[in-house]
Structure formats: structure tokens, C-alpha cells
Amino acid sequence: MIQEAINFVDSGIAAVQTLVYVDGVQPLLFHFNLMGYGDDIYDALYWVLVGVFQIGVTYALLRPLEALRPVEQWQDRRQVRADVIYTWIAKLGILNLLFFLVLQPVFSALQSQMVIHGLPNLQLDGLYPGVTDQPLVSFLLYLVVLDFAGYWYHRWQHRFGVWWELHAVHHSQRQLSMWSDDRNHFLDVMMQAAFFASIALFIGVQPAQYVVLVAVGNFLQSVQHVNARLSYGSLLERLIVSPTFHRRHHAIGYGHEGTRYGCNFGVLFPWWDVMFRTASWERALEPTGIRDQLPAPEGRSRRYGVGVISQQLRTFGRIAKRLALRRPRSTLGADAS
């Protein structure tokens, strides 16, 4: 039934894709003599339409919960408006499209070299013929493997100082909502796209499957950030990352604090946090953000920017400052040796 539902949605999106391309996009390409890009733009339309569908479904399901059962009430929603912009940029696949246009030839060449030198990729769906090649089973296998990789990617974001400054764009949001998941530095987004595309290629994920995997992951992460009192219960919370579990990750003073602390790194499943002892099941409602955003003496009143552009640019300033503070230590170490 799940596969039939996926096929139904896919067929509907494909039909709209063809309609929009033939009646809207293709005449413009012909008029401006850009038909050479027709195939790429046609393929990109699928990502865009999936993104529009995903945003529509997410809004229809989660926005009423935020209105009826909010965790926090906010007078100033400017920070949330910035997150809405991030969501449209991310969900429409603009950065993913750029990534594939620029780097896909590199991965194609890599795959060719693997074939030439007899280096097989790991086809997970072929592990146990008759079982793992079933659509739902292979989908769940891919989801678990990619989520395991996502757990470690997330821990590395908190572990390494320069990387943390990129990820801090996400954690600097003090008004978590259904839009907050896509609030990320664009450089980190590109790195993440390359990381997961490489793993997906290695384990044999097909392009159509990858689109669905990304869509499911994005929706579940939107639920995790929702500004609504949404209880999963003691059992379900151990199976899927809940808003309460993930809010603890965003909590000031415990959830991250740069490269020193951290908990609840699981992207979709909390199993990895339990396995590697980074889980915290605290249910108390705590303020979110980064400690140095707080006024003195608790923090340093650091500003991370209100709009998308300022948030992106301020990151490079923090990285430059961090690197500048490292230089005297390295110079001193070299002199001492």
C-alpha cells in the first residue's frame, strides 16, 4: 500500500512536471535559444514540484498544531520569517540542483573508475534476494544507513570549531518552529549534499528512491522542530526522534555549547544516541539558542543576524576570528620546538 501511494504521488507530480514544462518553460527556452538546457531543466522541475508538494503537506499538517498547542508564544516573528525563506530555498532544491550540475560529473567519473578497476559499490538491496530487494525493505535499509551517517555528520558539526560556526546558523534560532529545520549555512548544505550523495551512490540508491528518502527525512525533521506540544509517548519516542528529544539538543547550556558538549544528535532515530551514550531524555521546557547570544553576564550578546544574508555573512566573520585566535598558539608552539 505504501509503494502504491508513493507511485500515485510520483505519477501526479510527473504529470504536472510535463504540463508545466510543455506549456510554460519550453516556450521560454525556445524564445531565448536555451533549448540545449531543456533536459536538465525538465529534470530539475521534478525536484521543484516535490519541494512545493512537501511544503504544502508540512504546512497543512503542522501549522494548525502550532496555532492550537504552541510551546512558546512570540511577539516578534522576524526570525521565523527568515526560516521560511530558508525552507523555500532548500525544499525547492535550488542548492541541490546547483550541487548536481557542478559535481555530478565528478561522481559519474568516479563511478566509471570504480567499474574500470573492478571496485564494486555496496548494493544493499541485493544482500538477501527476495527480502532486501522488496521496495519497502530496501527503502528502510537505505533510511537506516543514511541516518547512521547523519548521526556522525551531526556530531562532527559540533566537534570541529570552524564547522561548528557553520552549524551555529541553525542553532542560533531561538524560536524553533516547523520552518527551522532548513535554517543552515549554504556552505554546510553543499557539504552535506555531497556527503549523503556519495553514500547513497555507494550503497546503490536509485535517483527516484533518493528523492523519496530526502522528502521523508525532511518532513520528519520539520516535525522535530515544530512549535507545538506534541507527545510521542514513551515507546514511540524511543523509535523516532520527537520534538521533545530534539528540543533538548537545541537547549542553551546542554544541547551543544560549541565543541565541548552535546546530546541528542540523532537525525531521525534516537538509537544511535542510546548506542553511543549521547542521549538525554529530559522533558523540561528549556530556552533554545546559543549561550553567547545571552546578555552579560550569562553570555556575550553576540549577534548572529536576523535576515538570511546577514546570517550567512556573519558566519565568515566568526570563522575568521576563530582562525586568528589560533595563529599565536601555533606560532608559539613552533618557536618552542
CA distance 5 to 157: 35
Angle, helices 243-250 vs 207-224, to 10°: value is 80
The CA distance from 153 to 170, in Å, is 14
Per-residue pLDDT of the chain in tens (337 residues, 90 and over written 9): 556 766 777 788 888 889 988 888 888 888 888 888 788 788 778 878 888 888 999 999 999 999 999 999 888 888 899 999 999 988 886 666 566 556 556 666 776 777 777 766 667 766 666 666 677 788 888 899 999 999 999 999 998 889 999 999 999 999 999 999 999 999 999 899 888 888 887 787 877 778 788 888 999 999 999 999 998 988 999 999 999 999 999 999 876 665 566 899 999 999 999 999 999 998 888 899 999 999 988 888 999 998 999 999 999 999 999 888 876 554 444 433 3
In the three-class reduction of DSSP (H, G, I as helix; E, B as strand; rest coil), residue 251 is classed as strand
Residue 336: the pLDDT is 37
Q: pTM of whole model > 0.75?
A: yes
Domain extent listing, the chain: 2-336
Helix (H) or strand (E) holding 75: none
Q: Give the pLDDT score at 259.
A: 52
The pLDDT, as a whole number, for residue 98 is 61
